[in-house]
Structure 1
Amino acid sequence: MFRTSRRAAILAAGALMLTLVACDTGPDESEAEDLSGNRTGAMADYKLGDQFKATEALSFSMLYNNHPSYALKDDWLFWSELSKRTNVKLENVAVPLSDYEQKRSLLIGAGDAPFIIPKTYHPQEDAFVSSGAILPVSDYVDLMPNFKDKVAKWNLKPEIDSLRQQDGKYYLLPGLHERPWQDYSIAVRTDVLQQLNLQVPKTWDDVYTMLKAMKAANPSTYPFSDRWSKPTPGGNLINIVTASFGAFGGWNYQHAKFNEGTKKFEYNGASDTYKQSVEYLHKLVSEGLLDPESFIQSDDQARQKLANGKSFVISSNAQTLVNDYRADLAKTLPTAKLAKIPLPVGPAGEINPASRTENGIMISKKARESKNFVAMMQFIDWLWYSDAGQEFAKWGVEGTTFTKDGSGKRSLASDVNVVGLNPSGTKHLQKDFGFYNGVFAYGGNPELVNGFFSAEEQEIQKVMGARKPVAPQPPAPFTDEEREQATLWETALKDHVTQMTLKFILGQRPLSEWNAYVAELKAKNSQQYIDLKNKAYERFKKANS
């Protein structure tokens, strides 16, 4: 799918190509391309653990997701130190966070995408595969010893296999975690719990009981008023509730869900587990426990309600707890106490729904023709996947932004703050230096991932770490023709699921009409979609049995 002629060859020899996936070497080593003309600036013998440094000054274009909390600055230490260590300068095509996905699609579609395209969440890459606009990166991971080492050492083959397309290749270099890390949950006013003589909730049923008690004590309030609903209504809340019920929703909506009992895919938005999660959220809204504006209001509006004591519960992660909520409350309700709690347990049991892979990097097909292509892949391998590169991206420069003790434990420099770890620090690791930037700093071993966690967050991660990880969905890649057809169905299906989910939750459509809603999905080809998915699953399984 990299070239038209190659696509034809793949279709002609599909079974042979898929069989390669089962081999020890896999498709990653199935084609020995001639890269002799693409090695300018590359290290001749780059291997695991090496500091990458280009043999001449190089620059690579990159799509940059510009986060409003730490807006891009050209004079960040990150850029100058990166050039010093690697002899590489990144030419950023900066796009605001709110427009990133749309702009990325437009640039790729027009053939104007930068070489490096990070912050891509699987399966977003699927839309760009059949056109040949992005590279099958699995063909080139032999250039990336750190990436290959972590996949092997951390037993990430199932996660990597779940990324594979019909040709047996994958087109996204994902962020890699040694262990799953569930960051998003809800934050609760623990001082209010204490006043009401309530325990910290452990299950979603406990959350319901807690909200009922809060409502009874404060009848004029909605105890739970949420954020993160733009651009995806209920983005986090629907995500974490559906995950706890055994489905996909919100930010993580997926059309197909694998049923371990039947060993077949089913349409997620019509499944019993999705229905149960919708029923739960409807109950919260109908009883005045969850603010109906949660699904349309801005983050600032949600934060103001919490800060003004008009709500007591809100979606949270480790950073927003400290940077947003506690900072807000300190100004308005200084005696208030707020804590993030472990993800409440639902009918799916004590699971950790976080994936060990996360957003990753696509590579523009234009990059393959560059004389510096090999050097670029070595650079990506070092910055995103080596231990040294991951430490640099997160912590910065030893002696300037952080220190190490005799045992190797890292600590922020005394004048540097991030996520409230050094409140008296006059400099901010993200805003003033450019480190701990979501474009670069993610993944790694638990010591690195947990490095900025407070003691309370460490305890939360202990709880989550003891839970059973959710298995990745099995591979069921479409052919080019199937993908084209599925894409036509997916937009209409997702729009309908999103609209009707909100109507059911808000009571604008009675839940007694659920069967009618399922019929509407079938009229929009949900069953044909699932039939296609199961056909792809059986084909891939047969080719690799």
Structure 2
Amino acid sequence: MKRFSRAMGLILSVIMLMFVMAACSGNNNEKPSNSSASPADTAAGSDNAAASDKPAEDYAYGEDVTFHSNEPVKYSMMFSDNEGYPYKADWRIWSAIQEKTNVSFDLSVVARTEYENQKSLLVNSGDAPYIIPKTYDESAFVAGGQIVPISDYVQYMPNYQKAVKAWGMEDDLKAKMQANGKYYVLPGMWEAPGGGYSFVIRKDVFEKAGVDLSKETSWTYEDFYAAMKKVKEFTGAKYVFSDQSKGESTLNIAAVEYGVTAGWGKANGMRFNQDTKQFEFADNTQDFKDYVSYFNKLITEGIMDPESFTQEDDAAKAKFYKGDTYVINANYQVFTDIQTKMEDPNAQLMIITPPGGPKGQLQVENSRLENGIMISENALKELGEENFIKMLRFVDWLWYSDEGQTLSLWGVEGETYTKDASGKITLNPDITYNGMNPTATKKLNADYGFGGGVFAYGGTTKLRQSKMTDGEIDFNNRILNNRTARPVAPPIMATADESEQLNLISKPLMDYVSTMTLKFITGQEKIDNFDSYVKQTQANGSDRYTQMANDIFGKTKSILGY
């Protein structure tokens, strides 16, 4: 009987197990399997599964949901103190954030000019605050282990994930990946690239010289040259174009249209060939020869002032203000300032659409990423994972939700701005910001703390354009409607040792390239000697650098999706 009972028990157990399996199978038929979910979906699912096993959070969060902690919390944070709107403890932004979220900050306030040095000191010593905004380059901090690999945690940030998915930011974010396939900074993200820099011209003078500005959206650099040549012939001016920023901005934006690198954007001289999926050294090619030849023509024919590459900004601006020159490089904010300082009250200015070139009518700005936020390992160690995730969800709301971004930029509705039925934001008339209400006595950033560089960056095109004048909106729309977006090049995901080797090659190589760029342009070196220049770049390591870059890319391209 005992053996029989065991046998019967075994049989009954098998029958019950089969019944349970059948029931589970029935449930699976009602709810499709998630076996084909993407990594992002899987991460979100893991978050939800983990949440179901835990007590309810003591805070509210979610996509388009205001973060609010039931209990007051305080997070330590670095704060870059801009001398243009110095930090004040009683700024309205602090109480506005606290009223919404029940969160306050323990700030480490550092002068903007010392911010990078102090950041390095705090991070490397292990004393960094939890939240480290205004980070432009995080690569130096990765190896030290003091910064959280934040890509491991973004699944807990619903507003961040919403922006990535809705705006297709996946390729943009690959540019932040390190050699281990992770990224260590939460970048500010824009729905579309910004306008950037272009050329401010004396519209009235160009038109009097017979230049048809109705076609400027289709101009190439050769068309721009022809227009400036007409102005020179009409005015008899010594120079038409005298530049500020020592020519760095002009060299940068023109380089894009020639498929090379120079000026502010020279970096390592690399370009990525989207057809061959290989890196190339751009700055010793025929494209580069054509590029320096163009600017040499401007100098040789007296169109561009050779002092553009040596003079201080004030000298360049003074020539433009006086009417001695008729072209200067600027972004829209500087353009707005220039308009107020022209000595000729009848001067009419225009910021043209950045010209195209041999590589097409390309958008200069192709990155939609801004500086971003690093999170210190101290936050994870001291808060514990559960409260660390809570802090991330606060960061997610403040920097990545529409509500948080609008608060950081414009302040409190009814106090600093109003909004109509269409959602259009209007700054209160007694407050000035970004050229709006220029005679107002209060400043949105200096007096209230809103619209500052620590919090207010990233967001929708609508939010971005909300702080623009009609003229700036027109400038941005001309670019978006008449220029082709460029794909983002993949990063060279070098290890620390590989980065050191690359830097040892790149520094002297690019110093030589920069020196020779100006010599070719100004005529100190003849264009006829370009072949000798090419050989010297190769001797300085351009081929070795390119080979290393492609070897590294070959090892990491699967991570990047190539």
Q: TM-score, normalised to structure 2's length?
A: 0.82
Please tell me whether the aligned partners of residues 226 and 294 of structure 1 are also in contact (alpha carbons under 8 angstroms). yes
Partner of 1:211: 228
Match of 2:177, as an amino acid? R
Partner of 2:435: 420
1:116 matched to which residue of 2? 131
CA-CA distance at 1:248 after TM superposition: 3.1
Say if 2:179 and 2:494, in contact at 8 Å, map to a contact too. yes
Q: Alignment partner for residue 324 of structure 2, among 307, 310, 313?
A: 310
Determine which of 351, 354, 362 is the counterpart of 1:343: 354
Question: In 2, distance between residues paired with 1:489 and 1:23?
Answer: 43
More displaced stretch, 257-266 vs 487-496: 487-496
> Whole-Å Cα distance in 1 between the matches of residues 175 and 120 of structure 2?
23
How far did residue 157 of structure 1 move? 0.9
Label 1:106 to 1:519 Cα distance change in 2 as closer, same or farther (>3 A).
farther
Are 1:175 and 1:357, in contact at CA under 8 Å, matched by a contact in 2? yes
Identify if the C-alpha distance between structure 1 residues 214 and 100 changes in structure 2 by more than 3 Å, giving closer, same or farther: farther
8 A contact 1:63–1:114 mirrored in 2: no
Q: State the partner residue of 1:398.
A: 413
Counterpart for residue 199 of structure 1 = 212
2: CA distance between counterparts of 1:341 and 1:311?
16
* Separation (CA, whole Å) in 2 of partners of 1:398 and 1:316: 33
User: How far did 1:138 drift?
Assistant: 0.5
Partners of 2:115 and 2:542 lie apart in 1 by: 29
Q: How does 1:89-238 map to 2 (within 5 A)?
A: 89=105, 91-97=107-113, 100-101=115-116, 104-105=119-120, 108-109=123-124, 111=126, 113-121=128-136, 124-200=137-213, 201=216, 202-229=219-246, 234-238=247-251
Cα deviation digits, residues 348-398 of structure 1 (max 9, x gap): 212223222232223334343232643442232122111111111211211
Q: Which residue is equivalent to 2:532?
A: 516
Q: Secondary structure at the match of 1:393?
A: helix
- Do the aligned partners of 1:63 and 1:113 also contact (CA within 8 Å) in 2? no
Which residue is 1:62 aligned to?
Answer: 78
In 2 relative to 1, CA 184–438 (structure 1 residues): closer, same or farther, beyond 3 Å? Answer: farther
Is the Cα contact below 8 Å between 2:424 and 2:466 reproduced in 1? no
Q: Deviations over 1:155-200 (max 9, x none)?
A: 1111112322221111222221112222321111111112212123
SS of the counterpart of 1:450?
Answer: helix
The alpha carbon displacement at 1:220 in A equals 4.5
Structure 1 distance, partners of 2:399, 2:227, is 42
Alignment of 1:410 onto 2:425: yes
Paired with 2:161 and 2:340, the residues of 1 have a C-alpha distance of: 41
Aligned length: 508
**CA shift for structure 1 position 408:** 1.9
2:273 equivalent among 241, 247, 259:
259
Q: Do the aligned residues in 2 keep the contact of 1:318 with 1:453 (CA within 8 Å)? A: no
Secondary structure of 2:39's match?
coil
Relative distance call for 1:361 and 1:288 in structure 2 (3 A) is farther
Q: Give the Cα separation in 2 of the matches to 1:531 and 1:115.
A: 39
- Per-residue deviation at 1:446? 1.2
CA contact (8 A) 1:395 1:436 kept: yes
Distance 1:455 1:219 in 2: 34
In structure 2, C-alpha distance between the alignment counterparts of 1:29 and 1:439, rounded to whole Å: 29
Structure 1 residues 289 and 134, CA, compared in 2 at 3 Å: closer, same or farther? farther
Provide the C-alpha distance between the structure 1 equivalents of 2:182 and 2:141, rounded to a whole number of angstroms: 14
Superposed CA deviations along residues 85-112 of structure 1, whole A, max 9, x for unmatched, are: 3322251432335x65555555545555
Superposition pairs of residues 314-329 of structure 1, within 5 angstroms: 314-322=328-336, 324-329=337-342
Give 1:204 shift. Answer: 1.4
Q: Paired residue for 2:345, among 296, 320, 334? A: 334
In structure 2, the CA distance between the partners of 1:82 and 1:539, relative to structure 1 (3 Å rule), is same
CA distance 1:460–1:220, change in 2 (3 Å) = closer
Deviation at 1:487, TM superposition (A): 2.8
| 8 Å Cα contact 1:28-1:141 kept in structure 2 | no
Deviation at 1:26, TM superposition (A): 6.2
Distance in 1 (CA, whole Å) between partners of 2:231 and 2:551 is 49
Rg (Cα) greater in structure: 2
> What's the RMSD between the two structures over aligned residues?
3.0
C-alpha separation between the residues in 2 aligned to 1:168 and 1:414? Answer: 49
Give unpaired runs (5+ residues) of structure 2.
1-35
Equivalent position of 1:16 in the other structure: none
Superposition deviation, residue 63 in structure 1:
4.4
Q: If the length of structure 1 is used for normalisation, what is the TM-score?
A: 0.85
Distance (whole Å) between structure 1 residues aligned to residue 135 and residue 95 of structure 2: 25
- Aligned partner (choices 470, 481, 501) of residue 455 of structure 1: 470
Q: Which has the higher helix share?
A: 2
Closer/same/farther in 2, CA of residues 421 and 118 from structure 1, 3 Å limit: same
CA drift of 1:113 comes to 4.7
Q: Within 2, Cα distance between the matches of 1:493 and 1:117?
A: 33
Verify: 1:432 aligned to 2:444, yes or no.
Answer: no
| Partner Cα separation in structure 2 for residue 284 and residue 254 of structure 1 | 25
Cα distance in 1 for partners of 2:249, 2:157 equals 34
- 1:94–1:450 distance in 2 versus 1, CA, 3 Å: same
SS at match of 1:370: helix
Provide closer, same or farther for how the CA distance between residues 115 and 245 of structure 1 changes in structure 2, counting only shifts above 3 A: farther
Secondary structure at the counterpart of residue 245 of structure 2: coil
Say which of 292, 308, 320 aligns to 2:306: 292
